[in-house]
Amino acid sequence: MNRHSIPIIPETPNVAAAVYYPDQNPPYTRPEPLRPPAGAPNVLLIMIDDVGFGAPSAFGGPCRTPTAERLAETGVKYSRFHTTALCSPTRAATLTGRNHHSVGMGVISEMANAAPGYNGTRPAYAATVARVLQGNGYATGAFGKMHQTPTWETTAAGPFDRWPVREGFDKFYGFLGAESDQFTPVLYEDFTMVDLPKTPQEGYHLSEDLVDHAIEWVEGVNTMDPDKPWFCYLPFGACHAPLQVPDRYLDKYVGEFDHGWDRQREITLQKQKELGVVAPDTELAPWAPGLPHWDELDDDQKKVSARLMELYAAFLEHTDDEVGRLVDRLQEMGVLDNTLVLYMMGDNGASAEGGMEGSFNYLAGLNGYKSATSDVLARYDELGTETSYPHYPASWALALDTPYQWAKQVASHYGGTRNGLIAHWPKGIDKPGIREQWHHCVDITPTILEAAGIPAPTSVDGVTQKPMEGVAMNYTFAEPDAEERHTTQYFEIFGNRGIYDHGWTAVTAHRAPWLMATHGLELTPMSEDRWELYDTSVDWSQARDLADEHPEILARLKEKFLVEAAKYQVLPLDDRTVGRHATAESRPPHPMMGRKTLTLYPHMNGLVEKAAPTFFNRSYTLTASLGSVADGMLVSLGGRFGGFALYILDSVPVYCYNFSGGGRTFVRGRDPLAPDAREVSVHFEYDGGGIGKGGTATLSVDGEVVSEGRIEKTTRAIFSMNEQLDVGINRGSPVAEEFADKGTFRYGGKLNSVTIDLRSTRDVVSAEEREKISLAVH
């Protein structure tokens, strides 16, 4: 059997056909079902989002993770495992075995441009591990956050080649974007948006839903074909903001973080030394410039900061408990012993994107609206519930990345890239314990393939494959002290860059993560960045900069970084965030590019915001064509934390604008609609004169004005990260609380269509101006 080429062509016996069936000799036989090599394990790949090395208790952190500890007891715990420092890049590298720039994912997919290393489009020459396993007879399923499908390929027009079920997964249930509301997510099953199985009031939480679906899928595969191994990919939306947890977890950590982030770093480091996940002489790395220490806060700031950290810890514990529920079920089924569990505790370091003081609605911060402690205190009791969208202050990220420097996005330093990894496989791991070999997420796919006895294919679906760039970690399973094999690795995200080479690291932190929205021209030119040098063979946490002592080593490593950068499509170096879309020529194709009108129908899937028309800083008209009059949603974009909706409630037409910086404006009809009404529209006339200005909303029925209202401020650039532009239904959270108890608020009559018209002469803000909006679209 030729496993080097997928699909595998079965061998056909050379049997001559007889004229009559009774005379057939030898008889025809059915081909054996395609199977991987004997003994190939099931594979469970778990990825938790935004978890720093120093967060889980399994690696000395303050967040209780009993499942991780349990798996580590009879498995191996990697203390020098690394990610790329950002969501999409880590996922792409993990699932392909190639570096993130090699597969076009140098940044998150929402920021893609035309450069090969940053185009957000996985090339056919880098098939996913799911496709390789599928092609070798595995069942494959993915449940959770993917964040790799290009946003411009998420419409009904496709193409669908980079959706999970076209990338090698037989089954997909989850979401495609960067983050999700945990109580009211917008989810897909395969290619179709689906309604949630229950409401938040009935106890819904996304992490629990994902595990439910993973368990049901594994049970189905195992029941129908017990001899068929499976690959289950479970990438949680947790613990990415928003920090939303079930009620029973809200008070699990009350008072446990009142000592603050500086003291927490000391406590965590001591615990890490006791566990042996850092060297005995490890020092705390320097504090990041610009972030406050705990003793610089006032009492209100301390109260809010401690509470937000309590929620994060509860969020991580809840997620780990859900992993435990799946592991328990595998054990009950008798399949855990021959299941390779790879538990990635973070796709990057802890997130410092919550601002200096944390936030109640951190989406407001992404629009450049600063959140104050007083704003959070005003709604303190709602934190962690469905009516909040919170994130902790940036300084907590440094504590959660103990003992390392910096945080998520900062690919130069280990605070952004070092994450805990646990491997559990009773039939394949001979010697449990800690492993100190240096490894990277690009090594996950080679590890899985080697465990299954499957070679990396040279051809997949007729396309010659780029060789794997990762190194299998299986040699560490039986040899705790084996010499490490991954000896050189570059890093780069947003101009933060560095290189690891045989124990040495040369790094430069170009952009602080809390400055993600700053336009690149305001930063120090990358050519003037100061590089640091660390000998991590004796300095575990990159605490002692040796750049001045060993300039010759630093020069050699800087040159080696450029060699690696050229090799893996990192060049040209680009420190922009939203500014990556500087010109129309550099943009990926967008469904609305150049179009001024669009008609949508209620039978269609919603449009993710990045694939929808842009309603920011401009005038527009929304017109709903009715076949009959009833209550329900006509059109909505966004949700509870920013958006707009045109709907009918108690027979009265309503337009609600939900400003992300706080406050809703309602424009209501004065009278109920007549039964024969056939058109409801709203025209918003933007004031102009800059970003986020106000305007006037005019509500009309069959062409006659029925109401008018003033909207003083509008959201600058984004309503949500995973909500939709919906027609005839409200998926996700509600724009207005007055229909929050009505579920999806599906239109009860006949809605023909909704037309979006962007042809207003007051289109206000130039494309170039929009690109400079202070927005951290992560």
Map out the domains of the chain with their CATH numbers.
42-486 (3.40.720.10), 491-584 (3.30.1120.10), 592-771 (2.60.120.200)
pLDDT at 645 over 50: yes
Tell me the pLDDT tens digit for each residue of 589-613.
Answer: 666 667 889 999 999 989 999 889 9
CA distances 272 to 57, 169, 267, 278, 544, Å, are: 9, 37, 9, 6, 19
Are 587 and 113 in contact by the 8 Å Cβ rule? The answer is yes
What would the DSSP string read from start to end of 665-706? EEEE-SSPPPTT--EEEEEEEE--SSTT--EEEEEEETTEEE
pLDDT (average), residues 660-687: 96
Q: What angle do CA 177, 180, 184 make, to 5 degrees?
A: 130
Tell me the pLDDT tens digit for each residue of 508-560.
Answer: 999 998 865 444 446 889 999 999 999 999 999 999 999 999 999 999 999 99
pLDDT at position 42, please?
98
How does residue 713 score in pLDDT terms, banded at 50, 70 and 90?
very high
Contact partners, residue 82, CB within 8 Å, separation at least 6: 414, 417, 418, 419, 438, 439, 440, 441, 489, 491, 500
How does residue 289 score in pLDDT terms, banded at 50, 70 and 90?
very high
pLDDT at position 649, please?
98
Are 638 and 730 in contact by the 8 Å Cβ rule? The answer is no
- Which among 577, 629, 648, 616 has a CA at the least distance from the CA of 725? 616
**Six-digit token string for 35:** 């199977």
> Which sign, positive or negative, has the C-alpha torsion 729, 732, 737, 740?
positive
State yes or no: cis peptide before 239, omega within 30 of 0. yes
d(CA 184, CA 176): 15
Place of tokens 């299986």: 474
Tell me the pLDDT tens digit for each residue of 29-65.
Answer: 888 899 999 999 999 999 999 999 999 999 999 999 9
**Six-digit token string for 463:** 């396309």
The model carries a pTM of 0.96
**Six-digit token string for 524:** 């120090």
Q: Which amino acid is at 89?
A: P
pLDDT at position 50, please?
98
Number of H helices, E strands in the chain: 14, 30
**Six-digit token string for 517:** 């929205």
Q: What angle do CA 89, 92, 98 make, to 5 degrees?
A: 100
d(CA 45, CA 345): 11
pLDDT at position 770, please?
45
pLDDT at position 441, please?
98
State yes or no: cis peptide before 242, omega within 30 of 0. yes
